[in-house]
Amino acid sequence: MDFANETSIREIRANQQHVTPESLANIQFTSGTTGQPKAATVTHHNVVNNSLSVGKRNELDTKHHKICVQVPFFHTYGYTITIGAAVSYGATMVVPSSTYNSLQNLRAIKQENCTVIHGTPTMYVDLVNVQLQHNEKIFPEIAVSGGAPCSPELFKKMKRHLNVKKMKSVYGLTEVTAVAFQSTPLDDEDKVLNTVGHVGDNLEVKVVDEENNVVPSGTPGELCVRGYSAMVGYWEDKEKTAEMIDDRRWLKTGDQFILDKDGYGRIVGRIKDMINRAGENIFPKEIEDLLYTHPDILEAHVIGLAHERLGEEVCACVKVQDGAELTLEAITEFCRGKLAKFKIPSQLRIVDEFPKTQSGKIQKFLLKKRYESVT
């Protein structure tokens, strides 16, 4: 179906006359740290320049590349890192199927001789697994991982089983258009495996403590970003924008981060308690509120535990009534139909006492540390 006609073309060209670099280009929704979607507004200047920077770091300027696109285009990964960068440097985007399918992705890499792969860590786990089953002769040059931290072990599997010559990380968030840290073409294996890359070109970053004081290099704190790629703000929400961006235009990421002296960064964890399961943000309170309605549960707290394929899995930590016995199967059945499937806990821990502060607040980071050390 052809929607183009002389009238529509004239309208487009007329509208183009009013577009400036500062004009809004996209309203990108993100679940955010509160669990509620927020509409981040970004300009043409944001998108064009972040796309150019990302594409150059991903070496799209060195030759004509074919990108196997595993990621959805509605996500900032697909919108900027994939489409924006590909258009900027003339790369070909190969879309294997209308919906995500790891086998189709593998076949597309082989049939189309894709030189670059885009995906999240979960997608790469799936791709490695189907490659182990089919053992296709593929030779991609670059694999870019983003959307969630990628474990060193997964990077090693990608190199070994997918025959990838070079792995790359990208780190960012919707509020900075897409990318703030990224691997460089000359990074050695240690940098790729243990960092999220080097701070992006023309960006300022700092790591601060709870009082907003800059901490020394190598010290954990909240990562803040300032520069050309920072969003204008949240659509029609000045209050949320002010919470995210201060009066000096420093944007708070909400991530606990370590910045090395050489400009490379490492994610320690999210400051908020949000769980990232296969790229889906899960708000623990929704699950906790439901668990509290179970007759045998006295107290419930939900945390994320590290998982090789999903990034994190949902773990319910509960204190039960005296004499009560509770199983994971019972919890699963209790939650079925009341929660989205991906929010239902896949792990259960029975707790005698929860770690708490003097004021009675739960210390989830200690709870997480306790159970990750034994899984």
Are 58 and 146 in a shared domain?
A: yes
Give mean pLDDT, residues 182-197. 94
At 360, is the pLDDT very low, low, confident or very high (cuts 50, 70, 90)? low
Burial zone of 16 (CB within 10 Å; 0-12 exposed, 13-18 middle, 19+ buried): exposed
Question: Global pTM?
Answer: 0.75
What's the domain count of the chain? Answer: 2
Give the best-scoring range by mean pLDDT among 4-13, 75-84, 350-359. 75-84
Are 175 and 304 in a shared domain?
A: no
* Whole-number pLDDT of residue 32: 42
Angstrom CA distances, 360 to 34, 213, 354, 364, stand at 22, 27, 10, 12
* Whole-number pLDDT of residue 105: 98
Q: Would residue 253 count as lying in a domain?
A: no
Q: Domain range for residue 128? A: 20-199
Residues 6+ apart with CB under 8 A from 284: 273, 274, 275, 301, 302, 303
Q: Would residue 88 count as lying in a domain?
A: yes
Give mean pLDDT, residues 39-68. 98
Are 148 and 40 in a shared domain?
A: yes
Q: Would residue 250 count as lying in a domain?
A: no
**Structure tokens, 61:** 């300027």
Tens-place pLDDT, residues 199-224 = 999 999 999 998 999 999 999 899 99
Are 162 and 54 in a shared domain?
A: yes
Torsion angles phi and psi, residue 189, rounded to 5: -60, -35
**How far is the C-alpha of 150 from the C-alpha of 196, rounded, in Å?**
9
The CATH number given to whatever domain includes residue 317 is: 3.30.300.30
* Whole-number pLDDT of residue 359: 36
Contact between 130 and 83 (Cβ < 8 Å): no
Paired sense of beta strands 221-227 and 203-208, if any: antiparallel
* Whole-number pLDDT of residue 108: 98
Q: Answer yes or no: is pLDDT of 34 > 50.
A: no
* Whole-number pLDDT of residue 373: 67
Are 147 and 281 in a shared domain?
A: no
Tens-place pLDDT, residues 78-125 = 999 999 999 999 999 999 999 899 999 999 999 999 999 999 887 898
* Whole-number pLDDT of residue 336: 96
Are 176 and 62 in a shared domain?
A: yes
Contact between 131 and 162 (Cβ < 8 Å): yes
* CA-CA-CA-CA dihedral for 63, 69, 71, 77, to nearest 10: 20
Are 292 and 189 in a shared domain?
A: no
* Whole-number pLDDT of residue 358: 52
**Structure tokens, 9:** 């073309």
Q: Would residue 130 count as lying in a domain?
A: yes
Q: Would residue 340 count as lying in a domain?
A: yes
Are 285 and 187 in a shared domain?
A: no
Q: Would residue 341 count as lying in a domain?
A: yes
Query: Over the chain, what is the mean pLDDT?
Result: 91
* Whole-number pLDDT of residue 375: 53
The CATH number given to whatever domain includes residue 137 is: 3.40.50.980
Type of residue at 71: V
* Whole-number pLDDT of residue 147: 81
| Last residue of one domain, picked from the residues 149, 174, 199 | 199
Q: Would residue 191 count as lying in a domain?
A: yes
| Last residue of one domain, picked from the residues 166, 181, 199 | 199
Q: Answer yes or no: is pLDDT of 25 > 50.
A: yes
Tens-place pLDDT, residues 262-318 = 999 998 767 777 888 998 878 787 898 899 889 898 888 999 999 999 999 999 999
| Last residue of one domain, picked from the residues 156, 183, 199 | 199
Are 279 and 188 in a shared domain?
A: no
Are 157 and 58 in a shared domain?
A: yes
* Whole-number pLDDT of residue 3: 67
Give mean pLDDT, residues 243-268. 93
CA-closest candidate to residue 269, choices 166, 364, 170: 364
Pick 6 or 234 by higher pLDDT.
234
Are 143 and 40 in a shared domain?
A: yes
Q: Would residue 133 count as lying in a domain?
A: yes
* Whole-number pLDDT of residue 337: 96
Are 182 and 53 in a shared domain?
A: yes
